[in-house]
Structure 1
Amino acid sequence: MSEGQRGVEDGFGGSDIDPIELLRVAWARKFRILFVALIATAIGIGWAISQPRVYQADALVQIEKRQGTVSGLQELTGLGNAGGESTNTQIQILTSRRVLGEVVDRLDLTLAARPVPLPVLRDIATLWPGEPPRTPWIDRWIRPYAWSGEAITVARFSMDRDAPYSVRLTRDERPGGYTVRLPDGRVLDGRVGEMLRDAQTGLELTVSELEGEPGRTFAVARATRAAAIAGLRGGLQIQQQPGSEVLRMTYRAGSREEAVRRLDAVAEEFLTQNVARSAAETEQSLAFIEQQLPGALRDLETAQAEINAFRVSEQSIDLNAETQGLLNRVTSLRAELAQLDIREDEISRRYTRNHPVYQTLIANRAAYQEQLQMLEDETGTLPETQQRFFNLNQELEVAREIYLQLLNRQQELELVRAGTVGNVRILDTAQANPFPVAPNRTRAVALAFALGLLLAAGLVLARHLMRSRIDDIADLDDFSLPLYGVIKRLPGRRKVGGRTQPLMLDSARKQHEPVIEAFQSLRTALYFGMMDETPRAVVVSSASPGDGKSFVSANLAALSAKGDSSVCLVDADMRKGYLRRYFKLPRGTKGLSEYLSGQATLEEIVHEISPGLSVIAAGTYPPNPADLLMSARFRELVTLLGDAFDLTIYDAPPILAVTDPTIIRRLVPRMLCVIGHRRTERGMVEAMIRTLDKTGGKIDGLVLNDYQPGRGSGAEGQQYGYYYSSRYRYQASDKSA
């Protein structure tokens, strides 16, 4: 295995990513990255300017602990604020459809009417100073869209169909006039302040205000109630202030006035429903008391009548002190039990039987009933007449106590109803910030710039890591082959018929100076590399056509022939060789094919171009060039040229196209391969090395041709670009050294 082959396997067998190299690559492309970042910044500026401005209003609401409205309930249970609700519960109520739906209905938020903004650019026109441009084509394009000062107010809008539905208005030339385009395509004429009706669609439209130049369009739409509630909820945010029962409510809308209007409506509706809910509890208790009062009064009157009748029938009856005390105790216990019955009816409306409040009431009733049973057992020892009077008097006292308690409760509940305020208090009404909260243009521009930098750097690094062509000089290091020279691209070279125009370097032309210097470096490297070789000959080839091997061969031969050296340039491409064009040899010039086929002598095919430089053209293209190259006559030619010239250069066909270069390589001691910058694929170089390795040959060095400083994806190109921009310049001088 050759050294080049091992280098291919080592270079592509699993190379690690070098962060330092990636940083160098990014730095080498800093201006390109910055350019992309600036473009992204411009896009970010355009986006930030075009987005509609959003204003925010805020308000503060306090949630107080709710106090029970049922008198005596807290004393009965001992649980304090058993009926209180958490702040999280109040937040859920505040954002419920019950509250927001009422706001939507009250403000008619299902109706939306606004000027139609510019497509994509949207509100960017609001930043334009003064009137819009008045050129005909610009005016025709922007006339339908909002520019500045447009306004519309719709008092009524409905159609005989389920929402959503919409129409589009266009301001016309009439004073206060407009046209309406219906969904079915018909156009109706309307006027501000007048009802516009259409029997076919059931349209009823009243526009109370319409401001704008003729031609401006306005969109009027009716959304579903659910969509309006969702939109209202989407703009509403509620946060509990840390360490308090205060809620901070914020709302975002397209104008300060709209944000304040909607947030105030939400807070007021929440307060109204909270007060109504508290009053409803009191109303229920009061209705129950008023329902019980007539029956309690009848029981009192009945008990009074019965005891009066008993006294009349018995003439006179007195109770001793002990019996009177027993009567008072029994009466008190029965009154307490009656009071518990009333409270149970009220508590059962709020709690289940298993609730601690309900269980406490049941336990108290059982204790009272046990005491009452003990007292009733004591009354059994009284005489019959006293027992009868005792029972009647007991019923009278209980009926009187119940009736008085119900009257007291009625008065208490009426006072509670009159003073019901709920447990919600609006601390601060809605107030809007004078400056929009969105879009945050500074943040948007900074983010766009950062994203542009990341995107550009990512693309540069990805391109560097995924590159398939020879993009940088550093890419050639993967093949472990010497780099003999780097030939810069010459400005002004054009392709004719798919081929680059033949060009011989001229030292008198300043633009050729850096390329001539590169060829001189190549000649020097080749000279020292071939000092001990016999014959002193080199094959110049490439991976594919168009890489510039003929350009390199011709100019290398011309520069090497200067001085005392004799150089022979052989066009060994008997398939498509055209070296004769570089030296303006006529078509049909005898060359290599005629010599190898025995149709010409060596003297007939060697053409002296200048002192020290001779050229052998390809000759007529034969049908069997490979067979001719494998003949003894070609082997003899290599020997003869090696003896006759100091240097022989063979311009061979591309290695991957035909087998001719491998045949020539076996007879010539050294071989150079020309690599086209940003043209030759990395895989081609690999294949070229493997092809020669199979035949026992190898590539001795590489020449990078058509190099464009600064066009590579890595940092190496920048370094060579600096070299070319700061090269030595030789100037004529009459002063001796």
Structure 2
Amino acid sequence: MARQTTHTATSAEAHRSYAPGQDDKGDDFINLGEIVATLFEYKWLILAVTTAAVAVGVFVALVSTPIYRADALLQVEDKSAAKGGIAALRDVEAVLGDSTSVAAELEILRSRMILGRVVERLNLTVVAEPKHALIIGSTLARRHGDADELAAPLLGMNSYAWGGERITLQSLEVAPDLVGLPLTLVAQDGGHFQLFDEDDQLLAEGAIGAPVNGERVSLFVAELLARPGTRFDVMRRSQAEAIATLRDALEVRERARQSNVIEAAFTGPDRAQAAAILNEVLNAYVRQNVEYRSAEAESTLKFLEAQLPELKSELDTAEAAYNNYRQNRGSIDLTMETQSMLSSIVKVDNDIVVLQQKRDELRQRFTAEHPQVQSVDSQIARLRALRGTLDKDVSRLPDTQQTALRLHRDVEVSTALYTNLLNSAQQLRVARAGTVGDVRIIDSAVTARLPIAPRKALIVLLSGVLGGLASLGIVWAIRALRVVVEDPETIERELALPVYATVPESKAEEEIDRRIKRGKGTGELLAVTHPDDSAVESLRSLRTTLHFALLGADRGSVLITGPAPGVGKSFISKNLAAVLAQGGKRVIIIDADMRKGHIHKEFDLPRNGGVSDFITGGTTLESIVRQTSVPGLSVVTTGQIPPNPSELLMHERFAALLQSLEAQCDVLIVDAPPVLAVSDAAIIGRLTGAALMVARAGRHPIGELEQAVKRLGQGGVSVKGFVFNGLDLQRQRHRFGYQGYHYQYKYSA
């Protein structure tokens, strides 16, 4: 079997740090091992904060109001394509407009014109809903499954709604100063209710199904299902506010580029209402589109119908003048040449009218210098020149032929204009009767079965991530504010004193302490019950190096103290004494902490009959030295707790006590009180051969240790070195490049 050994570096050289990439200053090197070690050191804090954040995330995910999404599809048809099958309507295509712009239709869908109609039709300016308790009230109400039965109030809070409550407020008119302000409706017995303002002033009271008219409020409650005393939040919003709220929840976009298909969606907490509102938006939009297209044809038709009587009158006048001339002059037959000339003149006049109309349309978009306008002007000029030539030909005809030609021309032109206008009017009547609009609903609004928000898994995941980041921030803050000594190298570098031993934490010793405090264990010593513990092995190393601490000393006693309470000086004293005794030395340990000394408990000895009793002359030297169960180890307890420990330690009998005990043993260990707490250690230190200071990892700022050394120095006591106690080996496993080394070598089968 291999013997277990533990080695701890004991000199300044042994504790010097070594980390790849780090120079002697070690200023800018990022030690990943130190980071990992810190995370393991604070693993329970990190776990607690992260768990708390996840718990908050789960709670938020459970109590958040679910948001549902309803969606629908619209198709925007190309106007010219829509009319392509009706050849008779092509003549009025310019009147009815060009192809529809999808971008324009998206803006129309979100316009106040459309949304205002929806708000009015669905009465969205009136808000009425049950008042729920904070945080969990709405969640419990949603989980109430029975719609016909009211849920029992939680903890007697009858004023809140807990599930099953309903209200239908068909109308609510308020004074201008109450618009947008929250009102409270309270259910009463017998189907009655009261309405209060935000200052709890009564505004109105009435019964269900009856109109209520007050000075500042008028309302009609069609349905109210609630316990007496249940409150409802009521508000009359302005139309602009209702439209803005509706627009925020409405989303419209073209589904694919140039697809002419619009996807509309509406989100809200009420699953049924989301689909109802979106369907109403689509219906209002389709109705508006049909009305707009019909209005175009209607307005043009009205204009044409207003022009038809005037043209009919002109036609009748021209026919009458022509007939009268023929009656007065007799039957006049136009020659073939005259008839041909008449046809040319009529055609030229009609072409000039058409080109003039085209020029007027172009001038609305372009200047007179535009090539298209100039092209039409040149065509009109040619036709007018042709008409001048025809007029010259007409002037060469006889007078009777000229007059007949002019009158007959007027009849032909008026007839053509009237006939064309009459045809256009009839086509517009057909278009108005058959207008169906440029948009149609492909898919009506349907609400998804599951809510789109909150995304519970994402909330929990993000809360865990944020909790982890917050815990890391807390750890960083703690480490930034924690200016304490974590490794023995800092003591050697800052104080120029050696660290004789680095004693790791001992779980076994912690268990022994717990049993002693509970009164379930006495007389236990780690060096005896757990001789293979790492802390005991470190003390064996200290046993070896203690020889160097006593070199040059004229006395064989060692003072063991610490800067503050709770650093483990008594643990070091008693177990070091046991290790020395096990090594064949005669050892006596004195508990000189006559304020809070407790070494007698570990050895299961009474406190009385110790140092204080000897100094006061109450007992003899032989009676206060008590043999323990460890061969070669004796203990001197504190004795009765005196009222003046410092004065007692300054007595000459205490110095004589130390001299006598030193003569009886090889090593005398004196366990003294903390240096910075009382002056006892400085008094005792002048009477011992060497003084060792116990420091605990992660407990002291370097300034505290420096002050403790200085305090002893002022008392004439020179500190030989330190014992670094409580090193966390679990943490050091992850510190690649730890300043100091610790190895274990245990028995194995």
Instruction: Sort the TM-score into its range (normalised by shorter chain).
Output: 0.7 to 0.9
Aligned equivalents of 2:330, 2:234: Cα separation in 1: 91
The alpha-carbon distance between structure 1 residues 342 and 128, as it changes in their structure 2 partners (threshold 3 A), is same
* 1:333 matched residue in structure 2: 348
| Alpha-carbon distance, 1:452 to partner | 4.3
- The partner residue of 2:211 within 195, 207, 228 is 195
- The partner residue of 1:58 within 53, 64, 71 is 71
Aligned equivalents of 1:687, 1:371: Cα separation in 2: 117
8 A Cα contact 2:69 2:265, kept in partner: yes
The alpha-carbon distance between structure 1 residues 340 and 145, as it changes in their structure 2 partners (threshold 3 A), is farther
Aligned equivalents of 2:466, 2:614: Cα separation in 1: 64
Q: Give matches, 1:488-499, under 5 Å.
A: 490=510
| Alpha-carbon distance, 1:111 to partner | 0.7
CA displacement, residues 125-146 of structure 1 (integer Å, 9 cap, x when unaligned): 4335778996xx94412x2222
8 A Cα contact 2:210 2:220, kept in partner: yes
8 A Cα contact 1:54 1:436, kept in partner: yes
* 1:207 matched residue in structure 2: 221
8 A Cα contact 2:254 2:262, kept in partner: yes
CA displacement, residues 64-121 of structure 1 (integer Å, 9 cap, x when unaligned): 1123999999989999997223212211110111111111111110111111123101
Q: Give matches, 1:590-601, under 5 Å.
A: none
8 A Cα contact 1:490 1:511, kept in partner: no
- The partner residue of 1:542 within 553, 559, 562 is 562
* 1:372 matched residue in structure 2: 384
Indicate yes or no: 2:261 matched with 1:241: no
Q: Give matches, 1:561-600, under 5 Å.
A: 565-567=585-587, 584=608
| Alpha-carbon distance, 1:193 to partner | 0.6
Structure 1: state its 5+ residue gaps.
495-499, 595-599, 717-722, 729-737
Q: Give matches, 1:69-88, under 5 Å.
A: 83-88=98-103
- The partner residue of 2:502 within 455, 459, 483 is 483
Indicate yes or no: 2:287 matched with 1:275: no
Q: Secondary structure at the match of 2:80?
A: coil
Q: Secondary structure at the match of 2:98?
A: coil
8 A Cα contact 1:60 1:247, kept in partner: yes
The alpha-carbon distance between structure 1 residues 486 and 448, as it changes in their structure 2 partners (threshold 3 A), is closer
Q: Secondary structure at the match of 1:364?
A: helix
CA displacement, residues 561-606 of structure 1 (integer Å, 9 cap, x when unaligned): 57853345578899x8969998545786677xx9xxxxx9xx9999
* 2:271 matched residue in structure 1: 256
The alpha-carbon distance between structure 1 residues 79 and 221, as it changes in their structure 2 partners (threshold 3 A), is closer
Structure 2: state its 5+ residue gaps.
1-10, 493-498, 602-606, 736-741
| Alpha-carbon distance, 1:442 to partner | 4.2
Equivalent pairs, count:
686
The alpha-carbon distance between structure 1 residues 289 and 650, as it changes in their structure 2 partners (threshold 3 A), is same
Aligned equivalents of 2:407, 2:182: Cα separation in 1: 79
Indicate yes or no: 2:105 matched with 1:67: no
Aligned equivalents of 1:468, 1:275: Cα separation in 2: 75
8 A Cα contact 2:96 2:297, kept in partner: no
Identity score, percent: 26
8 A Cα contact 1:26 1:460, kept in partner: no
Indicate yes or no: 2:700 matched with 1:680: yes
* 1:732 matched residue in structure 2: none
| Alpha-carbon distance, 1:451 to partner | 4.4
CA displacement, residues 634-675 of structure 1 (integer Å, 9 cap, x when unaligned): 999999987774224355665667999899999988654323
| Alpha-carbon distance, 1:157 to partner | 1.3
Q: Give matches, 1:341-356, under 5 Å.
A: 347=361, 352-354=364-366
8 A Cα contact 1:59 1:431, kept in partner: yes
* 1:401 matched residue in structure 2: 416
CA displacement, residues 306-344 of structure 1 (integer Å, 9 cap, x when unaligned): 445555666676554344333322211212333455567
Please tell me the residue identity of whatever aligns with 1:375. R
- The partner residue of 2:243 within 206, 229, 232 is 229
Aligned equivalents of 2:140, 2:528: Cα separation in 1: 53
Aligned equivalents of 1:315, 1:445: Cα separation in 2: 105
- The partner residue of 1:702 within 723, 728, 749 is 723
Q: Secondary structure at the match of 1:438?
A: coil
* 1:14 matched residue in structure 2: 27
* 1:422 matched residue in structure 2: 437
The alpha-carbon distance between structure 1 residues 658 and 586, as it changes in their structure 2 partners (threshold 3 A), is closer
Please tell me the residue identity of whatever aligns with 1:371. L
| TM-score, normalised relative to structure 2 | 0.74
* 2:3 matched residue in structure 1: none
The alpha-carbon distance between structure 1 residues 352 and 701, as it changes in their structure 2 partners (threshold 3 A), is farther
* 2:6 matched residue in structure 1: none
Greater Cα shift, 418-427 or 301-310: 301-310
Please tell me the residue identity of whatever aligns with 1:254. P
| Alpha-carbon distance, 1:410 to partner | 1.3
Aligned equivalents of 2:669, 2:505: Cα separation in 1: 18
| TM-score, normalised relative to structure 1 | 0.75
The alpha-carbon distance between structure 1 residues 687 and 265, as it changes in their structure 2 partners (threshold 3 A), is farther
Q: Which has the higher contact order (CA 8 A, sep 6+)?
A: 2
Aligned equivalents of 1:416, 1:278: Cα separation in 2: 9
- The partner residue of 2:180 within 142, 164, 169 is 164
The alpha-carbon distance between structure 1 residues 531 and 512, as it changes in their structure 2 partners (threshold 3 A), is closer
| Alpha-carbon distance, 1:422 to partner | 1.5
| Alpha-carbon distance, 1:238 to partner | 2.0
Aligned equivalents of 2:41, 2:162: Cα separation in 1: 45
CA displacement, residues 688-711 of structure 1 (integer Å, 9 cap, x when unaligned): 789999999776443325x8998x
Please tell me the residue identity of whatever aligns with 2:382. E
